[in-house]
Amino acid sequence: MDVLYIALNDADPQTLARWWLCEDSKVTASGAGSLSDVEAEALESAKTPARVETVVLLPDREILYIQVEIPGRSQARVRQAAPFAVEPHLTEEIDDVHIAVGDVKQRGAVPCMVMNKVRLETYLSVLEQTNLHPNVVTTPGMLTDASSELFLIESGSTITLRTPDQLAVVASDALSSTLAFTIPREEENVSITCVGSEGVASVTQSVVDQLNVDDATIELISFETLLEGVIETTGLMNLLQGTYATKDGGDAIRQNLNKTAMVAAVCVVVAAVIFVIQGLWADFQTDKLREKSLDIYETVYNTRDVTGNPVFRMQERMGARVDQQSKWLGLLESVVASTAGVEVRNLNFNESQNKMGITFFADSFQQFESIRSRIENRGMNVEVNVAEQQANRVWARITLSMP
């Protein structure tokens, strides 16, 4: 089946959108324009418009990509338990976000895409105004495969850094400093794929040379080549899950036969018992984690009432007691309470790596640099993931670690 890729820069029907038509895994046509132009030009270029599958690419900055441990092995059970596993990584209410779950394996973390529901509904409403009905809604960072340890995808003035388990968006002028923290020093056989212009590959090569990395492989490819590397769109992480799921347009007879074979092969009683046990186990683990977090919170603050202060919420959800004099707590209090005009939007604490990610809005780049200097003066390492001007404010995401 032919695939039409549409990349949106914003949730605005008049904003310039780029498109590529792939036939037999080859890009045969491309262009740019408003969504109405894409609808006319792209479908006109297709040999069989009725058989074109549509993949919409939202900006990587719109999503949070994390990998979490979720009890259960079936897709249904994992999706039911996903909100409880994802919630500790958020500061906004879990009811305000949409979660898309990736492949479920018997062992290992489950990849999840998290996006604000209002933002997702805004994008979908823009698409509903056209005859473009997407089968998959994802981001460019989700198009990569496991052939490289690090992907750098150029998108205008920003760069998406994608590793097997992480995704970050940084400004182009901050790429060099960000790569210095991302690429392991004096590592061997490092594989990096740059998607975009020669400038990205040049900056990457310069950083690799400074870090004394042996046998580093830096490959420069076009965005079209990245699209041609997608073998099956059904394997992409898809935001059209849950309440946004689309109905399967496949052969109804084949679906009925598959269901009949499944019923004949599996004992109904045994399956029911397994599902009940898995559900009870997931509920038990969730309740246990909640009670443990509240117990820890109560020992520190003498109350089980969790307020909206990001410092308190982060302390509750870290799953371990944080001492009042710890560097983490002092750092958060200095950023949240002592800096006027700063709006913290997201806190993400990686306990295994002892790292913390903070997403916030500052009034200006001067205020952003002041915050970074203050944190570094406290003896912390600061990695700038992204810092860009949005309207009249500066939106930034930084990663903090102990030296």
Position 303 scores a pLDDT of: 67
Which residue is associated with the tokens 């007879």?
A: 253
pLDDT digits (tens, 9 = 90+) for 186-198: 666 788 999 999 9
pLDDT digits (tens, 9 = 90+) for 139-166: 999 998 766 788 999 988 899 999 888 8
| Residues 122, 11 contacting (CB under 8 angstroms) | yes
pLDDT digits (tens, 9 = 90+) for 22-56: 888 899 888 988 888 887 787 777 777 667 888 99
Torsion of CA 295, 296, 297, 299, to 10 degrees: 90
State how far the Cα of 37 lies from the Cα of 14, in Å rounded to an integer: 10
Rounded mean pLDDT of 372-386? 85
Rounded mean pLDDT of 343-358? 80
Residue 337 has pLDDT above 60, yes or no: no
Torsion of CA 64, 146, 152, 24, to 10 degrees: -100
- The structure tokens listed for 218 are 């830096």
pTM for this one? 0.59
Torsion of CA 316, 317, 323, 325, to 10 degrees: -90
State how far the Cα of 382 lies from the Cα of 403, in Å rounded to an integer: 10
Position 233 scores a pLDDT of: 86
- Report the range out of 56-60, 162-166, 297-301, 332-336 with the highest average pLDDT: 56-60
Position 247 scores a pLDDT of: 38
Q: For the chain, how long is the longest CA-to-CA vector?
A: 68
Q: Which of 2, 18, 103, 1 is closest to 58 using CA atoms?
A: 18
